Structure 1
Amino acid sequence: MDELDITSAESKAIYQEIKDYVLKEFGLKVLTLYISQKENQKVPQCLKEKEDAIRVALEHFAMI
């Protein structure tokens, strides 16, 4: 593998980067739990405003 190549995992943002991005861009603090939650799970529900901000962050990091 070429030394400039990166794995797909390395090209993805980590939770902290997503949390930092949401805080910087939207002024919202989000939990890792909110980022990783899936529909129909029994976990505290993330506010719609924070969910939208996380979605923008995931798009920013080309994860969705």
Structure 2
Amino acid sequence: MFKDGGEVTELLWDKGNTVETVVLLSKGEVDSKKIRVEFSLEDMDMSEFQDGATYTQIKDYVLEHSGLKVSNLYISQIKRKCGIEVGKNYNLPKSEDSRQPQCPPEKEKAIREAFKYFGMI
């Protein structure tokens, strides 16, 4: 550092307060490699980005329109029947011979109606 025309290794201040300022000095212009892209969503097919409704939305729809309560298990069973992708089940049974309850026909019909309403089938 320089003070009063000479080089010093430390500065001693009477009041003990200091303020440091750092300034970056550069020469010339910075070359930017940015591009701007404009497109309209109206021309795009967004159907592949839509997964449909959540399990909660399906349950609420079924309850409101048919008065039936359905479980996530029943919804996933009907999704598989309709060829809709279902995530991995981490709640697997401990024994191989354990049985899962199957969705009753009246609940299957109500779930399929919900799928149609949400545009899933």
Give the structure-1-normalised TM-score.
0.77
Give per-residue Cα distances to partners, 1:13-51, cap 9 Å, x unaligned: 100000000000000000010000135xx6311110000
Distance in 2 separating the partners of 1:33 and 1:63: 17
1:61 maps to amino acid: F
Quick one: percent identity of the two aligned structures? Answer: 53
Distance in 1 separating the partners of 2:50 and 2:103: 27
2:61 maps to amino acid: Y
RMSD in angstroms over aligned alpha carbons? 2.2
Aligned to 1:60: 117
Structure-to-structure mapping, 1:1-64, within 5 angstroms:
7-9=49-51, 12-37=52-77, 38-39=80-81, 43-64=100-121
Q: Which has the higher contact order (CA 8 A, sep 6+)?
A: 1
Give the structure-2-normalised TM-score.
0.43
| Alpha-carbon offset, residue 8 of structure 1 | 1.8
Looking at CA atoms only, which structure, 1 or 2, has the larger radius of gyration? 2
Distance in 1 separating the partners of 2:76 and 2:117: 16
The structure with more helix, counted as a fraction of residues: 1
